Amino acid sequence: MTDVAAPTGSKSEQAYAAVKARIIDGDYSPGYRLVLSKIAEDLGVSVVPVREAIRRLEAEGLVKFERNVGATVAGIDPTEYLYTMQTLSIVEGAATALSAPLIGAADIARARAVNEEMRECLEHFDPVRFTRLNQDFHSVLFEHCPNPHILDLVHRGWNRLASLRSSTFRFVPGRAHDSVDEHEGLLRLIETAAAADEIEKAARRHRSATLDAYLAQTNTGSLSAH
Amino acid sequence: MTDVAAPTGSKSEQAYAAVKARIIDGDYSPGYRLVLSKIAEDLGVSVVPVREAIRRLEAEGLVKFERNVGATVAGIDPTEYLYTMQTLSIVEGAATALSAPLIGAADIARARAVNEEMRECLEHFDPVRFTRLNQDFHSVLFEHCPNPHILDLVHRGWNRLASLRSSTFRFVPGRAHDSVDEHEGLLRLIETAAAADEIEKAARRHRSATLDAYLAQTNTGSLSAH
DNA sequence: AAGTACGAAATCGTATACGATCACTATCGC
DNA sequence: GCGATAGTGATCGTATACGATTTCGTACTT
């Protein structure tokens, strides 16, 4: 629903996809000034569809728009990070629990393969690839999610975090190793058809653990409680 | 974040608020054809800000927009209803659990008073007032929610459901009585500082019970499991 | 030298205008 | 009589144009 690529051919969609890609890929970093007329020129369209695209991105939290001032790529301060991670913890937990009964042996195998690749990345220290594989891993888990609304929320959260790539938030020592282990734990729960409750809790913890690791680093308090 | 009224003075905001209000209040029923030029004329602005408003409402699920065809007030079929209620169950559960520790005795008293009024509405059969009070009740619970993202998701869900007022979905015999009892149960949990887990589960059940009641009526299966 | 007031440039917000696309209807052919 | 098709009207999509607002630099005052 959020990032369906939508090859509508509409210039508006075109602008939306283009700007969104540039933000997520990091071509536009947080704080980057998005001048409507400039983007319009770059894309060969007029400002109206660009404006529409920008406002859509604003609604998704990727862009900050100030009236009569302009749009900038949304940064994410510690508070926002906390909100986003906490929300993700909840919606990912739900998405995983809902998807679990629909995940087959083939999916599990695929996810496990991805996870082993991630483990290799840790040895060879390849964080870029690690991040991509991490996405793949969770995609396998979520792709069967029967509730598209929830899936959409998950995607929004991921997009919101994507702009953080290579930012200070991402590297917490040792966290990656734990993450891979937690992945394996999740797979075990799913393949043994554990209770939805258990799966949801595990998925939540997987996310909040990353948040906690960050919070611990900045000693601000913990949120793993819930 | 979603319905902050935003008296920005911008025509765009103005159009957004106006159309949104008309949808939520039921002046525009599902299926109603939203013709940009007509709305623009009604509001005394040009079509551009109206278009922006409509697209924003589309993103929130209140409006359906077909390219080169036009916008209509989004209906909500049983499937959509299921998705929305399921999602609400999850985000409301989280919102309640997060809010609980911040809810004081005064809030509890206020909520309890509202709930008693709701009980009266049942005797006098005043569904309109009942619905409004129900909103008030939950507002008390949510207003302290420390995570605005989650609160926003709750509001979106409520808005999405608002257009259903007086539609077939709303009247399930006996459900209202149970609902009031569940409210009291929730308040008890909160004032005894029950575990976040317990509160979350209760809040979820409160929502999914309504969904289940609907599903039972249309014998389609149940979702209370989670 | 620092602060303030003014003015110009940049950018957004909206109106208007026109081209593109779709739905609908009436007509034509079978 | 029924289905296909061309024409017409309505509506959207985008471009262009202009007014409104903000920001920033500069000159002036104290």
- H-helix or E-strand containing A217? helix A196-217
Rg value, chain B, Cα: 19
Residue A111 has pLDDT above 60, yes or no: yes
DSSP, res A102:
G
Q: Which residue of B has its CA nearest to A101?
A: B226
Residue B222 has pLDDT above 70, yes or no: no
Highest mean pLDDT of the ranges A174-183, A212-221, B108-117: B108-117
Reading phi first (left if > 0) and then psi (alpha if -120 to 50, else beta), residue A29 is in beta
pLDDT digits (tens, 9 = 90+) for A31-43: 999 999 999 999 9
DSSP, res A144:
T
Residue A13 has pLDDT above 90, yes or no: yes
In degrees and rounded to multiples of 5, residue B64 shows phi and psi of -110, 135
Residue range B87-109: average pLDDT? 96
How sure is the predictor about A167, in pLDDT bands with cuts at 50, 70 and 90?
Answer: low
In the 3-class helix/strand/coil scheme, how is chain B assigned residue by residue? CCCCCCCCCCHHHHHHHHHHHHHHCCCCCCCCEECHHHHHHHHCCCHHHHHHHHHHHHHCCCEEEECCCEEEECCCCHHHHHHHHHHHHHHHHHHHHHHHHHCCHHHHHHHHHHHHHHHHHHHHCCHHHHHHHHHHHHHHHHCCCCCHHHHHHHHHHHHHHHCCCCCCCCCCCCHHHHHHHHHHHHHHHHHCCCCHHHHHHHHHHHHHHHHHHHHHHCCCCCCCCC
pTM: 0.89
- pLDDT at position A171: 65
Which segment of A159-173, A174-188, A209-223, B64-78 scores lowest on mean pLDDT? Answer: A159-173
pLDDT over 90 percentage in chain B: 69
Contacts of A48 in chain B (CB under 8 A): 48
Residue B202 has pLDDT above 80, yes or no: yes
Nearest nt (C1') to A48 (CA)? Answer: D14
A87 and B56 in contact by Cβ < 8 A? no
In the three-class reduction of DSSP (H, G, I as helix; E, B as strand; rest coil), residue A193 is classed as coil
Nearest-CA distance from B34 to chain A in Å?
18
* Between B110 and A165, the higher pLDDT residue: B110
- pLDDT at position B6: 39
Contacts of B55 in chain A (CB under 8 A): 52, 55-56
A91 and B86 in contact by Cβ < 8 A? no
Q: Which residue of A has its CA nearest to B204?
A: A94
Residue B2 has pLDDT above 60, yes or no: no
Nearest-CA distance from B77 to chain A in Å?
14
Nearest nt (C1') to B49 (CA)? Answer: C14
What part of B 96-155 touches A (C-beta under 8 Å)?
Answer: 97-98, 147-150, 153
All domains of chain B, ordered by start, with CATH?
A: 11-73 (1.10.10.10), 78-217 (1.20.120.530)
pLDDT over 70 percentage in chain B: 89
Are B207 and B92 in contact, with CB atoms under 8 Å apart? Answer: yes
User: CA torsion, points B208, B209, B213, B219, in degrees to nearest 10?
Assistant: 50
Residue A73 has pLDDT above 80, yes or no: yes
pLDDT digits (tens, 9 = 90+) for A119-142: 998 888 888 888 889 999 999 999
A149 and B84 in contact by Cβ < 8 A? yes
Å between CA of B155 and C1' of C24: 40
A226 and B55 in contact by Cβ < 8 A? no
Residue B213 has pLDDT above 70, yes or no: yes
Sign of the C-alpha dihedral, residues B130, B133, B135, B141? negative
Give the C-alpha separation, B226 to B215, whole Å: 15
* Between B127 and A160, the higher pLDDT residue: A160
Which segment of A117-121, B103-107, B161-165 scores lowest on mean pLDDT? Answer: B161-165
